[in-house]
Amino acid sequence: MATKQMTKNEAAYIKKVNSKKLSGSFEFMTSRLGWQVSGVFALYLAVTAFMAESVSTAKLIIAAVFAVQFLLQFFITSKITKELIGPAGAISDGTRKLGFLLVPFILCGNFLLFIAGMMLVKKEKNIEYQLSVYSLLISLYIILISALNLFKPKQASTFVLGMALYGLYSIFNLVVIFAVGKYAMGKKPDKKFMPFAVICLLGLALGNVFSFLLGLIAIGKYRHKNDEISVEWIDVIRRLFKNYTAVIGMIVVIFLLSVSIGSNLTFDYRIATSNNFSQMLAQPSLAYPFGCDDYGRCVFTRIIFGARISLIIGVISTAVPIIVGGLLGALAGYYGGRTENIIMRILDVLSAVPSILLAIAIIAAFGASTITLIMALSVGGIPGYARTVRAQVLGLSNQEFVEAAKACGAKDGTIIFRHIIPNSLAPVIVRATMGIGSAVLSTSSLSYLGIGVEAHIPEWGNILKAGSTYLESNPYIAIFPGLAIIIIVLAFNFFGDGLRDALDPKLK
């Protein structure tokens, strides 16, 4: 009886230890998500293929491909699990070689398998390696997405040029991966890596923030004198990239950013804005992956171009109220008394006006343009952020570490910006990530009233609105922009969560 009890406890203990071992392994985490998502996707495709009136063979083939991916990834995951739990406690070289099988599946668009494969093949991975892999992933993805345009009867005049440039850029990214392995694995990157690092910095011009960060970290490490102390901002990034959900969020956001720049070359803007009644309400096909709307415009192209406006408006109109509102809230909370009363009462008046009404008034006064639109959406958000930050600051300003700082003779500014604001960021970041989605939707409701973005200009809210009329007969017109909005909001949420954890001084 006693022994049985003990084995039960022991089993529970071993289970706990094992699960901790597994979740500490980035290879395991990426592999597990890989088979899970591939499996669900394969199942979904198979079901829809059979649900249709006539069984579509094309869909079945795709479903089969994803089923293969699922099986392969499941097999590798179980192998990884066995080896990690087993006596060796590490993944064997043979298993690592299997990672090369996973990488080509990027051609099916399955970036989870690509990441899992790339993480598996390399035993020692530092932040530079991860960044170079993600950077390659982004450039490959842009080529893949742009390649869909080949099915269209006509391509943009700069299509070939764009594809060639991105092809070169991808090759460069591949070279960087090897260069990282060769020169940048130590505490300090080799001097030979510096040319790569500088070109990586230029990736920002293409929206490839991963590449930019890689260059920045390499240069930062190279110029850093003291080997014993790690650079703080690099630590923050390292913590951020340890969180796989945050990484996926960042991949989505950065991909959208890159594609909104890259689409200038490889996509034809006229397909997104010109009416083509011969393709009116066309069903999704290879040429028009998301179908066509009621004016015969390619919904896929519209969503690609819409990313630009939606990202700009969503991000800026959320960032502005955070900065302004956050500052006002911090001042009000820290100083209290009359300062607080003046600031908060003014903000109370502002928050008493319904935000959409305020936006309409601002646009009516200053005329409709993207800048006024951003301003209009920003002003309404200020009181909310000010309140959030003020509440945080009120709670924090009595804490011991603030009193300690005061006792040390720190200036007010130092206390606010170094001690209070970093500690009160968490709820603001969570709020902000939610705010981006609602900013995208507010843009569309203003467009609906004729004072936002013009209806023919591709903007996700606009596309969604156009689709809402055909929800019953042609649902895909509304589903895809809706998914795009969901994905961008979700991605910012994931990213925001990760950023909060990475920034939180308590979790250092």
Cβ at position 304, least distance to other proteins in Å: 15
Looking at the Cβ atoms of 262 and 321, the one nearer to other proteins is: 262
Q: CB pairs under 8 A, 24+ apart, for 79-86?
A: 80/25, 80/27, 80/28, 80/31, 80/120, 81/22, 81/28, 84/18, 84/21, 84/22, 84/25, 84/28, 85/18, 85/21, 85/22
Cβ at position 274, least distance to other proteins in Å: 6
Q: Side chain identity at 306, as an amino acid letter?
A: G
Please report whether residue 222 would count as binding other proteins according to CB under 8 A: no
DSSP characters over 138-197: HHHHHHHHHHGGGGSSS--TTHHHHHHHHHHHHHHHHHHHHHHHHHSSSSS--GGGHHHH
Please report whether residue 199 would count as binding other proteins according to CB under 8 A: yes
Please report whether residue 171 would count as binding other proteins according to CB under 8 A: no
- Which range touches other proteins (CB under 8 A), out of 105-113, 143-151, 274-282, 491-499? 274-282
Looking at the Cβ atoms of 169 and 334, the one nearer to other proteins is: 169
Please report whether residue 470 would count as binding other proteins according to CB under 8 A: yes
From 86, 195, 422, 505, residue interacting with other proteins (rule: CB under 8 A): 195
Cβ at position 265, least distance to other proteins in Å: 5
Residues contacting residue 82 through CB under 8 Å, at least 6 positions apart: none
Neighbours of 94 (CB within 10 A): 9
From 118, 265, 402, 453, residue interacting with other proteins (rule: CB under 8 A): 265
Q: Side chain identity at 135, as an amino acid letter?
A: S
Please report whether residue 53 would count as binding other proteins according to CB under 8 A: no
Cβ at position 160, least distance to other proteins in Å: 11
82 vs 103: CA distance, rounded Å: 22
Please report whether residue 294 would count as binding other proteins according to CB under 8 A: yes
Residues contacting residue 109 through CB under 8 Å, at least 6 positions apart: 141, 144
Helix (H, G, I), strand (E, B) or coil at 298: strand
Looking at the Cβ atoms of 34 and 461, the one nearer to other proteins is: 461
Looking at the Cβ atoms of 75 and 470, the one nearer to other proteins is: 470
Locate all alpha helices (DSSP H) within 203-298, ordered by sequence. Answer: 209-223, 232-242, 244-266, 269-273
Residues of span 151-170 touching other proteins by CB under 8 A: 158, 161-162, 165, 168-169
The residues binding other proteins (CB under 8 A) are 158, 161-162, 165, 168-169, 194-196, 198-199, 202, 205-206, 261, 264-265, 273-275, 277, 280, 294-295, 448-451, 454-456, 469-470, 472-473
